[in-house]
Amino acid sequence: MTSLHADEAFLGHYHLSHDPFAPRVPGFKFFPAQRKPVLGQLHHLARYSQLLLVVTGPLGSGKTLLRQALVASTNKQSVQSVVVSARGAGDAAGVLRQVAQALDVANAEPSAILKQVVQLGLTGQEVYLLVDDAEQLDESALEALLALAAGTPEGRPHVFLFGESSLIADLEQISGDQELFHVIELQPYEEEETREYLAQRLEGAGAGIELFTAAQISDIHESSDGWPGNINQVARDAMIEAMIASRSAVKRPKMGFTMPKKHVLAISAVVVVAVAAAWLIPGRNKAPTTTGAPTEQAQLPLGKPTPNVEFANSGQPTNLPMVGQPVMRGPLAEEAGGISEGDDGVPVEGSSATPPTVTTTAPPAGVPAGTPATPVVPAAPVAPVAKPTPAPTVATAKPAAPVAKPAPAPAAKPAEKPAATVAKAGAAGSSWYSSQPTGNFVVQILGTSSEANAQAFVKEQGGQYRYFKKVLNGKPLYVITYGSFPSRAAADSAIKALPAKVQAGKPWPRTVASVQQELATTR
């Protein structure tokens, strides 16, 4: 398994020669703001002070870069630098073993190491002992390092500890009232220093600070609290989010306004019903009734039976009458006036939104044409009104054959929506990342070219560990992440609580938006 660094998917979009915010970049230049004075102070104290030197700052404050700059700025002819890490070896035995191995000492004891330091001093070489992640040192390791820093009258190494501020309390507890160490606390960048730092990083990759607006620089400074490690991650995330937004803006006009096909079909059906109704309704005769609203009766051609119109709200497809057949306008308008849609845009079966089924039947013999199929409650009797001469009808004529109700079309199978749901649920792998808010953060643990290794790691750790597949340099890479957090601070806190085995890979927080971009590129 290998540690995974910042991805380079956005280099082509911004025309960059390399990722400007990666931990290690070509032609890296040490940023002097807030750090060059500290570097000079460390060199001065190493020469004139007899105390152990401690450099503290939170995660992402630039402690490791400062340690690298200290090693790089020493005279290699007169200084031998020994760099050890407290990760996974925070006790005295683990630290002394690393020091003895670097100085070619067989016995990993403080006395044997000091003897070798004295021998090197006689040849004109000093020894710088630099410890990374010193907050993970236990009490025995701190006592051994304090003993090395005190040295002997003949010689001593210059011991530098780089760690978080919790280290100070441990040293104070061991030292008591004695002055055995000196602390230098790193300070965050001011906003102008953040802008200069971004400009230097971008310039090294072939771009300029104009990639960021003044508002973006202010947001980056505020989100990172001015710590350089956080600035790198926040700035890179901002570039990725801006790239996604610009690509979406380019694609959006090409898409135009589209509507799901089922919505179009539903609207088309309603339009057809309305047009057919308007086309088929001829002029009407108003026959006076005893009381209430006049009964509307459609005029039929002579020699044809008068059909009744029924609206069966059964969810069956609407059987429209042929041109020239009568349709009663009142019920049709009432049924078609309140069409609504279900969750998927299709009228819900059995609701008022379902288009009514229109069927025609011949009236029973002896029933006047236009009489409603349902019984009408008679109103109070009133004075008789002279009947106008009715238009000739064929109400008393027997139809040649009873008109049968058309067979209802088979109902549409309601299996399409569940089938779509099953298909969507079957999409495995990256669906969890796609469902997370783009502003959330995940902790990237490591990447591996073997999916079996990724599965084994996730199975072993369990909990909130997941992995996704991406393509790096033309080859598949399986990236393991942990959790989903609403802020970078929450993700940083989660990193500190991870097991030591997991922290050994130097996990780092990243936005869900950057993961989603990688997944989109992989597809």
For the stretch 99-156, pLDDT in tens is 999 999 999 999 999 999 999 999 999 999 999 999 999 999 999 999 999 999 999 9
Top pLDDT among 175 and 361 is at: 175
pLDDT over 60 at 418, yes or no: no
Q: What is the pLDDT of residue 367?
A: 46
Q: What is the pLDDT of residue 160?
A: 96
Among 143-157, 318-332, 418-432, name the one with the lowest average pLDDT: 318-332
Q: How confident is the model at residue 311 (pLDDT cuts 50, 70, 90)?
A: very low
CA–CA gap between residue 489 and residue 480 (Å, rounded)? 20
C-beta separation of 200 from 71 below 8 A: no
DSSP 8-state assignment for residue 210: G
Among 92-96, 217-221, 270-274, 381-385, name the one with the lowest average pLDDT: 381-385
Q: What is the pLDDT of residue 371?
A: 45
Please identify which residue in the block is written with the tokens 């003993």: 147
The predicted model gives 345-369 an average pLDDT of 42
CA–CA gap between residue 71 and residue 131 (Å, rounded)? 12
Among 133-142, 308-317, 444-453, name the one with the lowest average pLDDT: 308-317
Top pLDDT among 273 and 321 is at: 273
Tokens standing for 235? 């700035």
C-beta separation of 320 from 273 below 8 A: yes
% of the chain residues with pLDDT over 90: 33
The predicted model gives 481-495 an average pLDDT of 92
pLDDT over 50 at 375, yes or no: no
pLDDT over 70 at 353, yes or no: no
Top pLDDT among 398 and 209 is at: 209
Q: Could you name the CATH architecture of 431-522?
A: 2-Layer Sandwich (3.30)
Tokens standing for 327? 């349709």
The domains of the chain are located at 36-185, 306-361, 431-522
What is the distance in angstroms between the CA of the first residue and the CA of the last residue of the chain?
24
Tokens standing for 412? 């549409």
Nearest to 442 by CA among 460, 423, 468: 468
Determine the residue type at 87.
R
CA–CA gap between residue 518 and residue 439 (Å, rounded)? 15
Top pLDDT among 189 and 278 is at: 189
Please identify which residue in the block is written with the tokens 């008109």: 403
Whether the domain at 36-185 and the domain at 431-522 fall into the same CATH topology: no
Q: How confident is the model at residue 253 (pLDDT cuts 50, 70, 90)?
A: low
Instruction: Report the CATH fold assignment for 36-185.
Output: Rossmann fold (3.40.50)
pLDDT over 50 at 287, yes or no: no
Among 158-162, 438-442, 501-505, name the one with the lowest average pLDDT: 501-505
